[in-house]
């Protein structure tokens, strides 16, 4: 057992996520480790911290008032320990301001609770005045060198912290008790098995068709079902309140039969205009904008795959593009896409909000292509909506409309499993490693091949799913 003598703010956030997650962490029972993408995000966070330090020293601190910065200091009280990001001492006022640094572009609920935990410990020893979340400024757009004074904004959350203090203070001994417990006993587990760090503890022997497969099922409804001893979809009462699509998915699972709305599918197909295009982007997120026209936490599109179908019986034409050198990848990418895609015809994507948002962002960065990118959005159709809207459902979809879950059911001979790169976040990380010089020349070439193969699989998968749906027309 590796139980610590103190509870940190990270421990407390684990407890809020699920008390059993905290117990698992304190007893060496966490079963997952940070993915390469999570490591990439953490590296971005460290960069933001250092830039935030510059911001505090150059913008927030008033040297005329002899204000000083206490950077990443540790304070303890009873069983609890905090390592602050930034404390600004104001000797003329005899008080301190706390700045919690976040690499996001706004204040999240967990940021408030994080700050409350720190305030409760700090206020036992220091005269605390204001508490701030210092985060990236979503309205900042890079125009030349990085503008540190414009890169950040500080939100005063003092009142929010004070309002939550009693609630968090009451939870502290409960979190401590969970961490110190010799056995997991009845410590509450999480309700998110897909992202659970200790699934053998939270969700042992989870059935294939569990209630967690019902999309957008609220925490309240999950708890209601669990309190009735219901874990399998097949055991959900017929009168249990669900949305129409949730009930439809439950019915498909219970009957173990696919549902096909052939009339609905035919109706959708009537609106498609040839030539058809199947488009997919890969992108990489950076917290700090690297190039002109980008804002914090903006996706950089570095790759596309495009399949073109002139008619249902013609051979398909495939084209693609991959930016493989340092610098803004989007300018040449948009130019190549403009050459590859015609001015008419339906453009199929999977999860249209992603591609359409990228088009809007790229139109701002490259105004010379703004009309072209705007026109693309007028032609986009989300192929995943055949599933998300309930026109085609299968019990083996398990309530998901991710293309990686849909494909092996609808097109069993295709799979992502054996691809060297087979996930979007993995593609982002290996591309980043490639363009930042972290790979050998041999690794660069194999990475290019892997990225091109993965992205092409995404658009080929859409082609094959479209062809399968067409069989019902």
Containing structural domain, residue 168: 9-180
Q: Could you tell me the CATH number of the domain that includes residue 91?
A: 3.90.320.10
My answer on whether 306 and 173 are in the same domain is: no
Percent of the chain whose predicted confidence (pLDDT) is above 70: 99
My answer on whether 300 and 158 are in the same domain is: no
Is residue 2 scored above 50 in pLDDT? no
- Domain presence at residue 197: no
The predicted pLDDT at position 234 comes to 97
- Phi-psi sector, 413: left (phi>0), alpha (psi -120 to 50), beta: alpha
My answer on whether 175 and 270 are in the same domain is: no
Distances (CA, A) of 183 to 20, 172, 178, 180, 196: 10, 19, 9, 9, 19
Is residue 197 scored above 90 in pLDDT? yes
How many separate domains does the chain show? 2
My answer on whether 286 and 418 are in the same domain is: yes
My answer on whether 302 and 449 are in the same domain is: yes
- Domain presence at residue 257: no
- Domain presence at residue 229: no
My answer on whether 304 and 420 are in the same domain is: yes
Q: Could you tell me the CATH number of the domain that includes residue 291?
A: 3.30.420
Residue ending a domain, among 152, 180, 208, is 180
Sign of the Cα pseudo-torsion (401, 402, 407, 409, in order): negative
Task: List residues bridging with 202 in a β-sheet.
Answer: none
My answer on whether 137 and 275 are in the same domain is: no
My answer on whether 171 and 270 are in the same domain is: no
Residue ending a domain, among 155, 180, 205, is 180
- Domain presence at residue 444: yes
Distances (CA, A) of 250 to 228, 255, 380, 397, 398: 17, 9, 30, 12, 10
Is residue 151 scored above 60 in pLDDT? yes
Is residue 4 scored above 90 in pLDDT? no
- Domain presence at residue 199: no
- Domain presence at residue 416: yes
The predicted pLDDT at position 31 comes to 97
Residue ending a domain, among 125, 146, 180, is 180
Task: List residues bridging with 282 in a β-sheet.
Answer: 303
- Domain presence at residue 118: yes
- Domain presence at residue 190: no
pLDDT in tens, 319-351: 999 999 999 999 899 999 999 999 999 999 999
My answer on whether 26 and 166 are in the same domain is: yes
My answer on whether 280 and 425 are in the same domain is: yes
pTM of the model: 0.94
My answer on whether 283 and 410 are in the same domain is: yes
C-alpha–C-alpha distance, residues 400 and 382, integer Å: 15
The predicted pLDDT at position 3 comes to 42
């Amino acid at each position: 057992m590796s139980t610590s003598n103190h509870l940190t703010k990270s421990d407390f956030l684990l407890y809020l996520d699920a008390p059993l997650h905290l117990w698992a962490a304190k007893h060496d029972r966490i079963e997952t480790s940070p993915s390469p993408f999570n490591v990439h995000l953490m590296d971005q966070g460290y960069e933001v911290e250092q830039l935030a330090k510059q911001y505090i020293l150059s913008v927030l601190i008033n040297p005329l008032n002899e204000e000083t910065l206490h950077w990443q200091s540790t304070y303890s009280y009873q069983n609890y320990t905090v390592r602050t990001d930034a404390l600004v001492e104001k000797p003329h006022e005899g008080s301190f301001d706390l700045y919690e640094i976040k690499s996001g572009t706004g204040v999240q609920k967990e940021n408030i609770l994080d700050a409350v935990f720190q305030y409760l410990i700090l206020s036992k020893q220091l005269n605390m005045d204001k508490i701030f979340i210092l985060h990236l400024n979503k309205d900042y757009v890079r125009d030349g060198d990085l503008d540190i004074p414009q890169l950040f904004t500080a939100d005063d959350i003092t009142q929010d912290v004070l309002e939550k203090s009693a609630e968090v203070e009451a939870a502290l001994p409960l979190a401590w008790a969970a961490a110190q417990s010799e056995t997991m006993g009845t410590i509450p587990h999480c309700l998110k098995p897909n992202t659970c760090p200790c699934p053998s503890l939270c969700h042992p022997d989870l059935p294939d068709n569990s209630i967690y497969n019902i999309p957008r099922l609220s925490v309240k409804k999950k708890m209601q079902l669990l309190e009735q001893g219901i874990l399998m979809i097949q055991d959900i009462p017929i009168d249990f309140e669900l949305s129409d699509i949730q009930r439809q998915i439950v019915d498909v699972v219970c009957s173990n039969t696919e549902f096909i709305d052939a009339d609905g599918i035919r109706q959708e197909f009537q609106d498609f205009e040839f030539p058809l295009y199947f488009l997919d982007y890969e992108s990489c997120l950076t917290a700090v904008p690297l190039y002109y026209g980008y804002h914090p936490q903006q996706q950089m599109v570095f790759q596309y795959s495009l399949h073109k179908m002139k008619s249902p019986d013609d051979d398909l034409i495939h084209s693609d593009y991959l930016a493989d050198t340092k610098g803004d990848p989007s300018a040449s990418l948009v130019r190549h896409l403009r050459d590859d895609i015609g001015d008419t015809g339906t453009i199929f994507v999977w999860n249209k909000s992603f591609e359409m948002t990228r088009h809007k962002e790229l139109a701002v960065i490259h105004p010379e292509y703004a009309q072209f990118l705007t026109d693309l959005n007028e032609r986009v159709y989300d192929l995943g909506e055949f599933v998300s809207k309930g026109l085609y459902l299968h019990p083996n979809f398990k309530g998901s409309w991710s293309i990686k879950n849909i494909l092996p059911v609808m097109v069993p001979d295709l799979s992502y499993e054996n691809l060297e790169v087979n996930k979007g976040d993995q593609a982002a990380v290996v591309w980043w490693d490639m363009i930042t010089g972290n790979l050998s020349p041999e690794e660069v070439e194999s990475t290019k091949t892997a990225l091109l193969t993965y992205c092409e699989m995404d658009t080929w998968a859409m082609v094959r799913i479209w062809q399968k749906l067409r069989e019902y027309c």
